[in-house]
């Protein structure tokens, strides 16, 4: 019997987190469950800083980016004494289940927390990187790539006006999924991501072709690519082609903000609803995901960041469409 749960957002913020919080609270109300929203993720658990969440508090939240519960990357939670403190705080408040909205670090923290806290934890995948196993799209990814596409469309206008080469850096320290879909969707001329190790050789070959053809070009670089980022790529191009007019645009944290897309809001609603249902069904240490339009549950140890290879068909598609 569960009558009180905790929810928090942790790690990097992502559009759609508020829609997920709202779904958790409305679903909990349907089952007569109280919800405590802890502020700044694991930091809130440690310091026992929370607010009771009511549906009326969330009327205007579904369309807002960021997270009304704030977020943080808690260094303290890595220490056992602070995890014990968090567990004691939850016990005092009579919390009987936890819903954690976040990504890789959030779920690793939940796994470590199990040693100090017997409460069941269910995760909702909230990260713009889309780098978790067990869901087709994480909360925030669709909005982030649409933000990138919008920015590149505008950059292309000025690139074409001056026959410039623009090197656009997007987020993705360990995974290039934002860059990959953005490259296909924006019609980019080249892509450099951590998963593709031969991309600099291919870029050098393309530069020789561009010298003959002229015109503007868009190159998308994931911030974690082994090339060293957009500025290093720009230096490489200038060395290979001294006459080229090369500019760099680092999109940075605008990719985290903005109103979540419709797809984002729907997926966040589905996962938030099923996270509450999972607690009621006795599940624990699992992430709620959506795979092939079906709700799935993946153990945290399998969901946390697994580096997967880019599908060969996507590589081929990119090479054909950027030729």
Which residues are catalytically annotated?
A: 129
- Give the integer Cα–Cα distance in Å for 157 and 166: 11
53 to each of 31, 35, 322, how far by Cα in Å?
15, 6, 48
- Give DSSP secondary structure letters for 190-248: EEE-TT-TTHHHHHHHHHHHHHHH-S-EEEEEETT-TT-SHHHHHHHHHHH-TT--EEE
Q: At what angle do helices 80-92 and 104-113 cross, to 10 degrees?
A: 80
- Give the integer Cα–Cα distance in Å for 113 and 229: 35
CA atoms within 13 A on the CB side of 277: 11
């Amino acid at each position: 019997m569960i009558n009180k749960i905790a929810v928090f957002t942790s790690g990097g913020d992502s559009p759609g987190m508020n829609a997920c919080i709202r779904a958790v609270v409305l679903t909990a109300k349907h089952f007569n469950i109280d919800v405590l929203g802890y502020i700044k993720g694991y930091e809130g658990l440690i310091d026992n800083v929370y607010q009771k969440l009511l549906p009326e508090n969330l009327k205007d939240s579904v369309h807002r980016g960021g997270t009304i519960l704030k977020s943080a990357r808690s260094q303290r939670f890595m220490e056992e004494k602070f995890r014990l403190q968090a567990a004691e705080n939850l016990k005092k408040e009579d919390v009987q289940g936890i819903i954690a909205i976040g990504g890789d670090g959030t779920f690793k923290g939940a796994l470590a927390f199990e040693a100090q806290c017997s409460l069941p934890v269910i995760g909702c995948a909230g990260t713009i990187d889309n780098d978790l196993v067990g869901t087709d799209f994480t909360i925030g990814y669709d909005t982030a790539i649409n933000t990138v596409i919008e920015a590149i469309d505008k950059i292309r206008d000025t690139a074409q006006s001056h026959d410039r080469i623009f090197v656009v850096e997007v987020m993705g320290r360990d995974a290039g999924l934002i860059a990959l879909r953005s490259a296909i969707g924006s019609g980019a001329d080249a892509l450099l991501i951590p998963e593709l190790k031969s991309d600099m050789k291919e870029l050098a070959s393309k530069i020789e072709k561009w010298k003959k053809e002229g015109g503007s070009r868009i190159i998308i670089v994931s911030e974690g690519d082994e090339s060293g980022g957009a500025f290093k790529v720009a230096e490489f191009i200038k060395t290979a082609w001294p006459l080229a007019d090369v500019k760099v645009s680092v999109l940075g944290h605008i990719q985290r903000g903005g109103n979540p897309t419709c797809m984002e809001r729907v997926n966040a609603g589905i996962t938030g609803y099923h996270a509450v249902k999972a607690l009621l069904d006795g599940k624990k240490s699992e992430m709620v995901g959506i795979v092939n339009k079906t709700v799935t549950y993946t153990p945290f140890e399998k969901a946390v960041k697994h580096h997967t290879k880019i599908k060969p068909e996507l590589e081929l598609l990119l090479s054909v469409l950027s030729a």
